[in-house]
Structure 1
Amino acid sequence: MLSINQLYGMNIHYRYYDLEYFFKSCSQNKIENVEIWLCPQHFYINAFFSEKSEKIKKLMEKYKISVKCLCPEQNNPKPNNIAAREENLIQYTYQYFKKVIDLANAINSDLVLITPGWNYYDEDPSKARKRSISMIKKLSDYAQERNITLVLESIWNKSSLVGDTIEKIQQIKGGVNRPNLKLALDLGAINSAQESIEEWFQVFGADIAHCHFVDGNPTGHLPWGEGELSMENTLKAFSNHNYSGGFSMEYLYQESFKNPEIWDLKTKVQFQKCIKIIEGDLND
């Protein structure tokens, strides 16, 4: 049965505010769990340097909020590419993600979200996929020693052809073959690929541990109510498989960058209504 505590705040649409504003807003909206996008204006971390974890710990304690997942910066043109080709970028990427995993361990965040990385246009994407598998193996082993789970999401084919479909994600997961590599279901990405939540659960089942929870037309990263998707039907699909992970509000809608807490609250109200309806259907 789904719970309101599974709805996670996310700071990606708070990019024009500081990190404490995000924590304070979540507290005011009674959102107890969050995913932190590691943008430099909120928490500066790269392959060579990291702010102290105490910055986040103090905010967690002050506002009584748990950080459930860290989302590193990793899309082009960021240098942190899981499928990097040049040796210096491979090493840079590895050191960056190690630092993120260490941060997750320091703040007791169980999950670190990763993508398959992106391929170069002058190569067969399968070559980049092999590099992605190699990197994720090393990162999974490093994370396992620190009791951290990596959650891998697909990304749409306008950004990468390394892991834009269920089939390719299945190849990567099978190639890595590590118990602490799970899946994150990004609704924007799967709708872009014309895939369904049900299809993902049929393939990956209980290995789906996280969700980027967004509306779309049918793709996009819109706040709920700004696209054409049904939140109720979406949540029913998760509920049917006894999903117990989080639903992070990963909004990239320009309008949500102003007064982002209002968009979060609107989503929370709708989320509560939907889970009550679903609960009622289960009790009928």
Structure 2
Amino acid sequence: MSREIMNQIAVMNVQYVQYSFDFFLDSMAKCGVKNIELWTGAPHFYYEDYLTYRETSKKIKKLKGQIEDLGMKVICLTPEQLNYPINLAAKDERLRTRTVDYFSRHMEMALEFGTDQLFITSGSGLRDVQREESWKYSRESLEILAEKAEITGIKLIMEQLQPYESNLITTRSDIERMLQEVDSSSLQCCVDVVAMAVVKDELEDFFKSLEGRIQHIHLADGNPSGHYILGDGSLPIIDYLKTLDNNKYDRYITLEINDSIYLTDPHLALKRSTDYLRNVLLE
């Protein structure tokens, strides 16, 4: 396998939600990772904590400076979106509108951070509402955002979720269907290998059916669920890396080691995962 994979590795700061942003950056530096998938939530950065666009931009400029001073960069902006009050598939039109506005604002902030990628999910329908009705709400929301993304030059990177997180996009065929229905070059695919394993999809099949649309990977171990340290679960991590290598995948791979069991010591979780990768690549 190519050792260049280490240059593709990114980390998301949501794993460090119980620590300061400075601690997160220090952990990144110690582990030799330079790419950040920036989760935009407190206590690190949440835009509604600033009263005006000017104050928000000032904070973004400060954070971007900290990141760049360490030779790092933001490669994707990832708004918090799995909890209320954010849901692209909500039955309540007011909630959907608020969610579309939320993502639209994050498109602007992504560009300020220096990235053209915004992470997004389908949302989830109410379990007692017909799935196709919720699918329609999600598709319409994504169509609005995709049109805005085309204008601003943003790529919306959409991942599949686990069945407990959503009743909409949970499989390869689901994400393929949504990409076809929205039909916008601004909407692309992120493959989460844990969610993939839960529904027994295969990584190679993603590359076959979504050729040219896979823009990001979320990598973690599991059993198959959970987002564990690489090597601590039962997923075929080495096989996944070989599949990426064989398909000449040259974009970013975020280590999503964010299970709650690691919240008290995220640095150790990251170090063990990066050590695992470096050992594998030396074989």
What TM-score results when the alignment is normalised by the length of structure 1?
Answer: 0.91
* 1:66 paired residue number: 73
* 1:24 paired residue number: 26
**Offset of 1:69 from its aligned partner?**
0.8
Does the residue aligned with 2:205 lie in a helix, a strand or coil? Answer: helix
CA contact 1:32–1:65 (8 Å) conserved in 2? yes
Letter in 2 for 1:119: G
Does the residue aligned with 2:127 lie in a helix, a strand or coil? Answer: coil
Measure, in 1, the Cα distance between the counterparts of 2:46 and 2:8: 27
* 1:126 paired residue number: 132
Letter in 2 for 1:71: T
The range that moved more, 170-179 or 253-262, is: 253-262
CA contact 1:47–1:92 (8 Å) conserved in 2? no
The change in CA–CA distance for 1:198 and 1:47 in structure 2 (over 3 A counts) is farther
Letter in 2 for 1:209: Q
Which of the numbers 71, 79, 82 marks the counterpart of 2:85? Answer: 79
After the TM superposition, which residues 1-284 of structure 1 pair with which residues of structure 2 at under 5 Å, given as runs? 1=2, 2-46=4-48, 51-52=56-57, 53-76=60-83, 78-277=84-283
Measure, in 1, the Cα distance between the counterparts of 2:169 and 2:49: 24
**Offset of 1:40 from its aligned partner?**
2.1
**Offset of 1:110 from its aligned partner?**
2.2
The change in CA–CA distance for 1:47 and 1:96 in structure 2 (over 3 A counts) is farther
CA contact 1:47–1:96 (8 Å) conserved in 2? no
- The percent of aligned pairs where both chains have the same amino acid is 26
**Offset of 1:203 from its aligned partner?**
1.0
CA contact 2:119–2:158 (8 Å) conserved in 1? yes
RMSD between aligned alpha carbons? 1.8
The change in CA–CA distance for 1:142 and 1:58 in structure 2 (over 3 A counts) is same
Measure, in 1, the Cα distance between the counterparts of 2:49 and 2:203: 35
* 1:282 paired residue number: none
**Offset of 1:149 from its aligned partner?**
0.6
Measure, in 1, the Cα distance between the counterparts of 2:233 and 2:39: 23
The change in CA–CA distance for 1:276 and 1:137 in structure 2 (over 3 A counts) is farther
Structure 1, unaligned runs of 5 or more: 278-284
Measure, in 1, the Cα distance between the counterparts of 2:249 and 2:204: 12
Does the residue aligned with 1:174 lie in a helix, a strand or coil? Answer: helix
CA contact 1:74–1:81 (8 Å) conserved in 2? yes
Structure 2, unaligned runs of 5 or more: none
Measure, in 2, the Cα distance between the counterparts of 1:99 and 1:13: 23
The change in CA–CA distance for 1:4 and 1:102 in structure 2 (over 3 A counts) is same
**Offset of 1:48 from its aligned partner?**
9.4
Measure, in 1, the Cα distance between the counterparts of 2:260 and 2:174: 31
Letter in 1 for 2:124: W
What TM-score results when the alignment is normalised by the length of structure 2?
Answer: 0.92
CA contact 2:159–2:189 (8 Å) conserved in 1? yes
Letter in 1 for 2:265: N
Give the count of matched residue pairs.
Answer: 276
